[in-house]
Structure 1
Amino acid sequence: MKNKNLWTLVFICVINSLGFGIIVPLIYPYGKQFGITEQTLGLLTASFSIAQFFATPILGSLSDKYGRKPILIISLIGTCISFVLFAEARSLIMLFAARILDGITGGNISVAQAMVSDSSTPEDRAKNFGIIGSAFGFGFVIGPAIGGVLSKISLQAPFYFSAGIALIGVLCCYFFLKETNPEHQRKNDGKFSFKSLITVLKHPVVGSAVFIGFLLTMAQFTMIIGFQTFTADVLKITPFQIGVFFAGFGISGILMQLAVPYINKIISSKTFILLLSLIFCFAAMLLSGFTTQLIFFAGCMCVYGLFNGLRNPMLNAIISERVTEQEQGQTLGINQSYASIGQILGPISAGLISGFSVHYVFFLSAFFILAGFLYTLILRSREKNNPIQC
């Protein structure tokens, strides 16, 4: 992938995720003035993911037909408008409308991934997916800190600021980003069938990778609920310390994603790298369920954050290698759709089991990781039986 276009895309991904990172921690305190509760917060969060589940593969399919750049611009415009709507909200209904709009136009991640896949060689694909993943991760890490500072001005200020940087993303995309899906390569039929959400799972390699991504996303979002509850109720550390803690967790993942090209030089098999990373993630989650000590818990979270950073670069590379150029957007969009469902089911399952003990949440996350590990063994076998056709 040409460096100039890659780094332009990286910048767009950073400012896009920065806006998301700024507003997410503030949704609850901001929404309380409209009567939002812990229960309705869950529904508000789920409304975004559900809308994204249905919209992302459609946007991906449209990007296969009409090009990546216009769809990415539309997605960023939708994000910008949704932030303004949230800032201008006068009722709970407007909050839901804003989050649903952001979900409907939330094809940013999958379209960015498709652009990386379009322009990468098989040798560079995992590395470039790692760079893009680091870009998104960087915005999520520093976003909450910026949001905290801006919230001192007013609770609306972070949302207006996020809308502003989304608009900068639109301008950067329009003026500096080059199209990676030229007209002669585009899919003639841009229609998307929701049957594809099921039929993709029947593909021996791609379907397995998508399902593994779903399991591991569910594990991560289960862990996040446990992390929030455990640090506040058991360790009793301050919100500031929790923020620093979570930032450290995010940074460890970014560092591992940046190390992907060096890891690939040592280990060429993406599934083998994934298997090794899952062993460490499983051990970290399992041990987290037994600890009540801050230092030991921090160590477990650091190990998990570090090796979990290998998940998306490996899975995205495996998926993109197995689909045609004309189907990159649609397939990566479907992959993101299943991740959205994982983001819903993870917190729900964590909430149910936390009623027994917060420690059980980490055991549940470990169970999902173990399932992902076992399915990766199946994926590895299917890869050997279904080699890439040159």
Structure 2
Amino acid sequence: MRGDKNLWILVFVCIINSLGFGIIVPVLYTYGKTFGITGETLGVLTASFSIAQFFATPVLGSLSDKWGRKPVLIISLAGTCLSFLLFAWASNIFMMFAARILDGITGGNVSVAQAMVSDTATPQNRAKKFGILSSAFGFGFVIGPAIGGLLNKFGPQVPFFFAAGISLIGTLCTVFFLRETNPAKPQSKKDNTEDFRFSALITTLKRKVIGTAVFTGFLLTMAQFTMIIGFQTFSVDVLKITPAQIGILYAGFGISGIIMQLSVPLLTKWFSSKSKILLLSSVLCMAAMFTTGLTTAFITFTIGICIYGLFNGLRNPMINAIIADNIHHNEQGKILGINQSYASIGQIIGPITAGYAGLISVHAIFFLSSLYILIALILSFRLTLKA
């Protein structure tokens, strides 16, 4: 693992990429209000990224199977850089939407990076490598908002220019230092002439192990983004804590997930299968969410959120490893891209359903999240029988 230079370059690229995204999170709404963005249109702006990513990610993943990972990753990172520049240069609301959609269309960097890791991994160390990669993304998301808030003091456009700058660094690192893990071969170009078909988004779900893993990931992503709405609402309306305290609490949630992702090597030694680790994490996440829905106290709420964050950190490494273990090398990019597509939709549906649950009670949001995890738990049990 120490000699895997490609992995550590990917880790660096992933930190830079997620850092750029995290930087704009706390300033996007304030900046957008200049051009008429409201709370409602902010939701649409956020959703536009996920919708564009839903359709584009499996296509980019499929292209990486055919033409190589590195050029697709370069295009994705360059698109992210350009989108941040469009944000900085925006003069109206339409440019903001164009920037968000462009980032979604070229947002294949996550699944392509995962495919690059999987190309050189073995079934024994695949979960470990996915855990390291997930912790890299998580690290950027945790520290990014703090940096964005600090940079905003120097001007509303500064965070976007800074995000564009570090995205450019990530692009250049990929161009000059990253080694291709799936080089295109002349015969493969002839053999794989069939373009990606969107029907694969449905047919993939019908595949026994892969379909179960993808749909389980979709449910767990939906549960997480449902929880995030409950977290924000509960913190403000019930606990009445300050934005700074909310930021610290959310950072604790993110850090706990990173710690667990870095602990994946130990867990894979203790447990006989990745599906059993996923099953255990789902049980503990469901219990944490249900308990959080019952509390009104700061301490118990914090404990519940951190326990959830800790074991939710196992979701991506385990699901990605299970998928990669059960697919052919020639479709790694496509299937991991489809998995990311369903995660994107989960990021949309989760907050929407949380909004409706919030009409009943803020506690109902956490109960809804635990319901999603319960369904995923049942599927995880099926996964232990199939995998």
Unaligned runs of 5+ in 1: 384-390
Letter of the 2:181 counterpart: T
1:193 maps to: 197
Give the structure 2 partner of residue 47 of structure 1: 48
Aligned partners of 2:272, 2:75: CA distance in 1, in Å?
A: 37
2:276 is matched by which residue type in structure 1?
Answer: F
Query: 1:182 Cα deviation (Å)?
Result: 2.1
Matches within 5 A, 1:1-390: 2-184=3-185, 188-189=192-193, 191-383=195-387
Q: TM-score, normalised by structure 2?
A: 0.97
Letter of the 1:255 partner, please give it.
I
Question: C-alpha distance in 2, partners of 1:232/1:186?
Answer: 55
Paired residues in the alignment total 383
Gaps of 5+ in 2: none
Q: Which residue of 2 aligns with 1:387?
A: none
Per-residue deviation at 1:290? 0.9
What SS does the aligned partner of 1:25 have?
coil
Larger deviation: 29-38 or 136-145?
29-38
CA distance in 2: counterparts of 1:22 and 1:158, whole angstroms: 6
- The 1-side partners of 2:280 and 2:36 are apart by 46
Superposed structure 1 runs of 4+ greater than 3 Å apart: 184-187
The question of whether the paired residues in 2 share the 8 Å contact of 1:226 and 1:358 is answered with yes
CA apart distance, 1:268 = 2.4
Alpha-carbon distance in structure 1 between the residues aligned to 2:89 and 2:235: 33
Asked if the contact 1:82/1:102 (under 8 Å) is kept, the reply is: yes
- Compute the displacement of 1:190 (Å): 5.6
Q: Which amino acid aligns with 1:228?
A: Q
After superposition, give the CA deviation of every residue in 1:273-293 in whole Å (9 maximum; x if it has no partner). 111111110011001111111
Q: CA deviation at 1:25?
A: 2.0
Question: Structure 2 CA distance, aligned partners of 1:98 and 1:186?
Answer: 34
Deviation at 1:183, TM superposition (A): 2.7
The C-alpha deviation readout for 1:13-56, integer Å capped at 9, x for no partner, is 00000000101221111111111111111100000000000000
Deviations 1:318-362 (A, max 9, x none): 000111110000000000000000000000000111011111000
Question: Considering only aligned residues, what root-mean-square deviation do their CA atoms show, in Å?
Answer: 1.0
